[in-house]
Amino acid sequence: MRRPTGRAAREPGGAVVTGAGRGLGRRIAGLLVARGHRVLLTDRDGDSARAAAEELGGAATALAVDVRDQGQVEAARDAALDLAGRLDVWVNNAGVLVTGPAWEQDEATRRLMIEVNACGTINGTVAAIDAMRGNGGGHVVNVVSLAGLTAVAGEAVYAASKHAALGFSLSTMADLRVAGVRDIRISCVCPDGIWTPMLHDKLRDPRSALSFSGRLLTPEEVADAVRRVLDRPRPVTSIPRWRGALSRLADAAPTAGLAAIPLMAARGRRVQRKILAGGGPRAGK
């Protein structure tokens, strides 16, 4: 790994966003450019990353990176260091959701979600720590989900992958503290359903009803929560906070929590139908 030196300490350094070709990642990349970072937008779909970077202008660059491949993730780390000399922020945002009970999914589908959502987050976090440690520190932001906090019918493997991402992030934060590393932070953001391409094609899918059971968030709202976390790192931020509290309550009392799930799913299906009937993504508010 190349470690360029000699940069002014307070100048914003580089930032990497995974899965930045569309949806939330694209929005977060825009936020980081606006904050003065040189941003490397990465995505498995290199064309979408390049289009997003072009839209964001000169401070943004693109690289095709599949987060499942550690070598590609390390190449992103080195490219970001070459761009800016130092890495301030790394956002592990890339994610995939395939709905349905685990027993209806083949092994490749289950493996895909675990490898992208959990292993991809691990690869990115390790690469970021490698670049930040002894080089000015930095901040890793991991995009998890409320599905990382509690049970989600119709999204069991996705929830497993997000629980893994959260457990890994908090445990790695603990490892950093035990190792005496104080200048690297890891913050997890756990949003409710967001109106992005991930959900656009799921309006007719009753198995994804729980993603629609709250008020659908906009990517802008979630990017704004990421902005607050960048200003004030926090181990876990639920968006909205009350749904996070409800998820944790359901997890603390799983019998009651599981009993409430059919009611939540019924509400989610009502919201899906309202959006389909022309109510727009805010139909659940």
Ligand X SMILES: NC(=O)c1ccc[n+]([C@@H]2O[C@H](COP(=O)([O-])OP(=O)(O)OC[C@H]3O[C@@H](n4cnc5c(N)ncnc54)[C@H](O)[C@@H]3O)[C@@H](O)[C@H]2O)c1
Give the up-direction half-sphere exposure of residue 242: CA atoms within 13 A in the CB hemisphere. 2
Q: What character string, x for contact with ligand X (CB under 6 A) and - otherwise, covers 123-162?
A: --------------------x-x-----------------
Does residue 257 touch ligand X according to CB under 6 A? no
Considering only 8-16, 39-47, 99-107, 169-177, which stretch makes contact with ligand X by CB under 6 A? 39-47
Query: In the range 48-77, which residues lie near ligand X by CB under 6 A?
Result: 48, 65-68
Distances (CA, A) of 284 to 211, 219, 247: 11, 16, 18
Report which DSSP code applies to 150: S
Please state, in angstroms and rounded to a whole number, the distance separating the CA atoms of residues 188 and 165: 9
Q: Pick between residue 135 and residue 211 the one whose CB is nearest to ligand X.
A: 211
- Number of neighbouring beta carbons within 10 Å of residue 201: 9
To 10 degrees, what angle do helices 70-84 and 120-132 make?
40
Q: β-strand 38-43 against 14-17: which pairing, if any? A: parallel
CA 259, 271, 157, 147 dihedral sign is negative
Q: Which of 45, 130, 205, 224 binds ligand X (CB under 6 A)?
A: 45
Does residue 122 touch ligand X according to CB under 6 A? no
Q: Which of 13, 15, 16, 23 binds ligand X (CB under 6 A)?
A: 23
CA 169, 149, 192, 95 dihedral sign is positive
Q: Pick between residue 201 and residue 231 the one whose CB is nearest to ligand X.
A: 201
Q: Which of 125, 169, 187, 211 binds ligand X (CB under 6 A)?
A: 211
Q: Which of 14, 43, 84, 141 binds ligand X (CB under 6 A)?
A: 43
Q: Give residue 91's identity as a one-letter amino acid code.
A: V
Does residue 213 touch ligand X according to CB under 6 A? no
Q: Which of 85, 95, 124, 244 binds ligand X (CB under 6 A)?
A: 95
**Residue matched to tokens 């960048």:** 230
| 158 is annotated as an active-site residue | yes
User: Least distance in Å: CB of 170 to ligand X?
Assistant: 17
**Burial degree of 170 (CB within 10 A; 0-12, 13-18, 19+):** middle
Q: Which of 13, 124, 193, 214 binds ligand X (CB under 6 A)?
A: 193
The percent helix, strand, coil of the chain (3-state, each to 5) is 55, 15, 30
Q: Pick between residue 68 and residue 270 the one whose CB is nearest to ligand X.
A: 68
Q: Pick between residue 85 and residue 265 the one whose CB is nearest to ligand X.
A: 265
Catalytic residues: 158
By the criterion CB under 6 A, which residues form the site for ligand X? 18-19, 21-25, 43-45, 48, 65-68, 93-97, 116, 120, 143, 145, 191, 193-194, 196-199, 211
